[in-house]
Chain A
């Protein structure tokens, strides 16, 4: 029983990363109709940035948690203005290719400077302990990651649901053309929303630094799973991507623990689930079918 709870907790923690990343992808896709392939690369930049802030400038984790998302958000806004924006009128495939190319460039830039070796990052001292849950112990840092991700997801959900900005983003996501015809300058919101989604990837990257191997390719594998998560939850559905993120985290953790004799099953389970969901509900679990234009 206690090992089951342990695996469950592990699953929720890896689900927290998936949820944060999927949330950013969903917000960006909803507003821009851009599938941001570079999301994993920005996550990697978040982790590498956290590492560099400490090793090059002596900036500790807590400051990195503030600085890195802000800087990456600004970088994301720059990327949107400089590149994504110019392709917005073309087939969505162009922006997909653009962000794919951007991924390769960012990965190789980091590789060129720091190599492909993983760098260790010490757990912040305040969280370098274990929390006793009675039946099992759990590293305090992981508890923090889970709590932080949950708070962040709830905050984004509240922002979208209960503020004027959120209302405009929901409207522009659902009916971009109608929103413009009702006097909303949809274009003005596109850049900040893109930056915000990238900042969320940055948050996930910072949180990953003390837990996962920091290296240029750390986002490359993860982003594929995140895409599956977003598809399962429903493209553009905020709630769906968060719920699917945690759900897939659990499935992966259980699979790795109980199906360890069939690793292939555990590894492919996400994509099998995606295929089944697509056959059953093409718009994803919580997605709405797009109205024909």
Chain B
């Protein structure tokens, strides 16, 4: 579904990604693990077409994304859940959800979104930035589901959430995965990562240095945590 080859990215003189290669298949959850500053968020921004300084090949369903601007990529089915959660202060919760066009074959209806996220229904007329951090995270996820995105690019969706909400995010990711949606997840929480994902890419020095399965992550948890500096 998603294929990345030889992706390099830079800010001015500073190279962040050198040669990244990875794939994500439909219904697969893949994580990107790495230290702060390893370029995980930059990688997602590259895929979304938001980062100017990049080179390499990105294909989605066999289609070269290279020349496409961000809004065209979104319309092909890429759903970005940014690390700052991207809530619009000048839009209500409902407007935040209905802003993006429905793009996929199976976009969620507003009713379905509100059924799955009752708290958003309760706060539907509030300005989105008045929600708590966890609620804003739900909103960011719900928004790309309502679009019907087929590949979610989630940037640390569990950061700063209570354990209860982390579990809720995990449920949602497993649920959409089972319906064939693919997820590329930036995640520092290894327990959470092994609970939802199939494969884990360790990003260091601008490339994927290792790809681990869940068992390997669990066996090497201590070593990985030390490496990640957590």
Contact = CB atoms under 8 A, between A and B. Distances in A.
Interface of A: 167-168, 170-171, 173-175, 177-186, 288, 291
A180 B91 contact: no
B143 to A, nearest CB: 7
Contacts of A180: 50, 69-71, 74
A182 B50 contact: no
B74 to A, nearest CB: 4
Contacts of B15: none
Nearest to A185: B71
Given A168-B99, A178-B82, A183 B74 contact: yes
B80 A171 contact: no
Given A167-B95, A171-B99, A177-B50, A182 B89 contact: no
B29 interface: no
Interface of B: 48-50, 69-71, 73-75, 80, 82, 84, 86, 88-91, 95, 98-101, 103, 143, 147
In the A-B complex, the 7 residue pairs with the closest CB atoms: A183-B74, A182-B100, A180-B70, A170-B90, A181-B80, A178-B86, A185-B71
Contacts of B80: 178, 181-182
Contacts of B100: 182-184
Nearest to A237: B90
Contacts of B82: 178, 181
A99 B49 CA distance: 31
10 contacts: A173-B90, A178-B82, A179-B99, A180-B69, A182-B80, A182-B100, A183-B71, A183-B75, A184-B99, A184-B100
B90 A171 contact: yes
B91 A181 contact: no
Contacts of B48: 181
A182 B101 CA distance: 8
A182 B90 contact: no
Contacts of B73: 181
B200 to A, nearest CB: 25
A170 B99 CA distance: 10
Contacts of A167: 91, 95, 98-99
A25 B101 CA distance: 29
Report which residue of A174, A182, A288, A291 has the largest number of chain B beta carbons within 10 angstroms of its beta carbon: A182
Contacts of A177: 50, 70
A174 B89 contact: yes
A291 B85 CA distance: 13
B151 to A, nearest CB: 13
A183 B88 contact: no
Contacts of B75: 183
Nearest to A182: B100
